[in-house]
Amino acid sequence: MKDNILNIENCKKIAVMGGTFDPIHYGHLAVAEAVRDEFETDRVIFIPAGKPPHKKNINLANNEHRYIMSVLAISSNPYFDVSRIELDRDGITYTVDTITELKQCCDKDAEIFFIIGADAINEIFSWKDFRRLLGICSFVAVTRPGYKKTKLRKMISEINEKFDSKIYPLEVPALAISSSQIRDKIKTNSSIKYLVPDDVEAYIKKYSLYKYDEANTEQISCKLKKILTRNRFIHTQGVAKEAVRLARHYNSDTYKAYTAGLLHDCAKDYSAEEKRRLCASYKIKIDDIIEKQIDLVHSFLGAALCKKEYGIKDKDIINAVKYHTTGRADMSELEKIIYLADCIEPNRKQHDGLEKTRHLAYTDLNLAMKYNLELTIKHNENKGRMIHPLSIEALNYFKNLTEEDN
């Protein structure tokens, strides 16, 4: 079956760039151009993945969106094309089938260079009919500067010798861009300019791609700006961004981290009278300690507001807001991230223990929780404040946990 969009019948060398392209970005384009230049290929064919076998659990954007974004991205380069060869195929899409089908579209003597990341070399052996695949196309294993070339070249040499294959290493200038990073930025309303072509950025905005339906963080931010003091709003933004950094560090959900960070102090600036009124309205119990230190209730009240006023349904986000002040035993990863982001965000005034907490937060969340709870409890005791039982339980829990780890 010929791909009638492509004009490759007279091409002698063709590079193939596969990927989910969710979304396509400048890193993809830079790699493709580097391969075209190095191997003097006539064309580079971008092939958005259909249903890749190694990524069964990911939620890809709609096929048409990914295809159109790819077309928009390559439109200014006369040597680039996009093929629907996998998008229009039913079932799981395998590289060996794609290359076989593509070879039917070009001259029988044409050489095809399939572009992969160097880290994927070891994965080839798990691909469908990998022996046949190694025989019908060449591979370009792309690396960034600083990659361990000696080990890679040795591995490539061994594979080429064993399977009579053609795998070529190619170093491409370091572009630390990834599709997941771009999706994270969109979810947290951060700029993606200069990460993707302008037309792709405009398309993403037009169709609101990669946004979560549950809550619009931009609307939340606008609402908070109206009800919080200026300093509180600056702190809130700082916590949200710090929470995203921590979430990325620990491969956690950045959207949840950003949303919980934004909302953690949503009830902080209400007056004592208003806090009591809202607690009564939402049936939030005020215990003896909170009664004497009413500001403590803002985290519990904030959790209720997340549901009632901001439409949040995710229990982990709600609990992260609820326990960001007192902590509790057996906290979720998100709860720990929000608790610590609140303590270490860049706008916090310098105090003894702050830098150590920051260091520990990016080293071990449990150690950071133990250290900061000790620090906070000691500080509040010195101020003559009562300590909430949840904080005591949290400290004992993290003490036991970190002692067991040691």
Are 340 and 238 a contacting pair, CB within 8 Å? no
> Hey, what CATH topology would domain 13-178 get?
Rossmann fold (3.40.50)
pLDDT digits (tens, 9 = 90+) for 161-206: 999 999 999 999 867 788 988 988 887 778 999 999 999 999 999 9
Distance, CA of 148 to CA of 156 (rounded, Å): 13
The residue among 313 and 266 whose pLDDT is bigger is 266
pLDDT digits (tens, 9 = 90+) for 18-73: 999 999 999 999 999 999 999 999 999 999 998 877 665 456 788 999 999 999 99
The residue among 158 and 144 whose pLDDT is bigger is 158
What the block records as the tokens of 96 is: 């060996």
pLDDT digits (tens, 9 = 90+) for 65-121: 999 999 999 999 999 999 999 999 888 899 999 999 999 888 889 999 999 998 888
pLDDT digits (tens, 9 = 90+) for 123-153: 899 999 999 999 999 999 999 877 788 889 9
Number of neighbouring beta carbons within 10 Å of residue 231:
10
pLDDT for the residue numbered 59: 63
Residue type, 118: A
> Hey, what CATH topology would domain 217-405 get?
Hypothetical protein af1432 (1.10.3210)
pLDDT for the residue numbered 255: 85
Distance, CA of 140 to CA of 134 (rounded, Å): 12
When pLDDT is cut at 50, 70 and 90, the band that residue 4 belongs to is very low
- When the pLDDT of each residue in the chain is averaged and rounded to a whole number, the result is 91
Are 243 and 256 a contacting pair, CB within 8 Å? no
What mean pLDDT is predicted for residues 394-398?
96
The residue among 214 and 235 whose pLDDT is bigger is 235
Distance, CA of 5 to CA of 8 (rounded, Å): 10
∠ CA 226-231-234, nearest 5°, is 80
pLDDT digits (tens, 9 = 90+) for 331-376: 999 999 999 999 999 999 998 999 999 999 999 999 999 999 999 9
Q: Is the pLDDT of residue 254 over 70?
A: yes
Distance, CA of 390 to CA of 300 (rounded, Å): 12
Q: Is the pLDDT of residue 406 over 60?
A: no
pLDDT for the residue numbered 147: 79
Q: Is the pLDDT of residue 1 over 50?
A: no
Q: Where are the domains of the chain?
A: 13-178, 217-405
Neighbouring residues of 193: CB distance < 8 A, sequence distance ≥ 6? 201
Sign of CA dihedral 67, 68, 70, 71: positive
Residue type, 237: Q
pLDDT for the residue numbered 2: 42
b (16+ CB within 10 A) / e for 257-283: bbbbbbbbbbbbbbeeeebbebbeeee
